[in-house]
């Protein structure tokens, strides 16, 4: 585990240290070396059911002592971040997901960009634009309004899209692909 050193080395039991986390993909905030406020169990637990070869996910109330916690990596707002969150089934998966970046493709600032205040809140999937931090290039991400959480989330519901300040609808698919 090159990216983690357990707290015994730092003198704090349970603390995880960071050696190579990338900055937040949305706001550019660099997580601190001490991840105790940034990386922790998400409150969801996973249980492997050997008789059917299936993993199920359980909330805190219904968990068994043998269930393993899922983890969440946060861009902590009270430390200067934007509030984005990425989950993983394990601590290492959450860190790997945080460090994963899609290939950068230029976003075409077209007439289609609109202020975030005008985005539909009906569950439609739209493209979000981020220009919240001048140190970070403009990024785009697909997501929708999550009525239950009263916030914008990614299409898989894991990442809170704090910092989005513009949006555009998805373009219409091509009628026919010519070969």
pTM for the whole thing?
Answer: 0.49
Render pLDDT for 30-45 as a digit per residue (tens, 0 to 9). Answer: 887 777 788 889 899 9
Structural tokens at position 62: 């219904």
Whether the CB-CB separation of 35 and 17 falls below 8 Å is answered with yes
Q: Tokens for 87? A: 């989950």
149 band by pLDDT with thresholds 50, 70 and 90: confident
SS3 77: helix
Query: Which of the four pLDDT bands, split at 50, 70 and 90, describes residue 50?
Result: confident
The gap from C-alpha 1 to its chain's centroid, in whole angstroms, comes to 21
Instruction: For 139-151, give the DSSP string.
Output: EEEEEEEETTTTE
Place of tokens 């660099």: 30
């Amino acid at each position: 585990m090159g990216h983690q050193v357990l707290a015994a080395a730092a003198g704090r039991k349970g603390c995880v240290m960071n050696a190579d986390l990338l900055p937040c993909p949305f706001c550019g905030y660099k997580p601190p070396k001490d991840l105790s406020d940034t990386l922790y169990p998400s409150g969801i637990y996973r249980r492997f059911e050997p008789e059917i070869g299936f993993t199920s996910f359980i909330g805190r109330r219904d968990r068994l002592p043998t269930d393993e916690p899922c983890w969440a990596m946060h861009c902590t707002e009270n430390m200067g971040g934007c509030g984005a969150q990425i989950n993983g089934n394990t601590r290492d998966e959450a860190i790997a997901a945080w460090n994963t970046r899609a290939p950068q493709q230029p976003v075409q600032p077209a007439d289609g960009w609109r202020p975030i205040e005008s985005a539909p809140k009906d569950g439609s999937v739209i493209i979000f634009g981020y220009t919240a931090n001048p140190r970070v290039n403009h990024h785009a991400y697909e997501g929708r309004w999550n009525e239950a959480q009263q916030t914008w989330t990614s299409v898989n519901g894991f990442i809170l899209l704090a910092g989005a300040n513009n949006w555009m609808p998805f373009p219409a698919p091509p009628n026919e692909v010519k070969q």
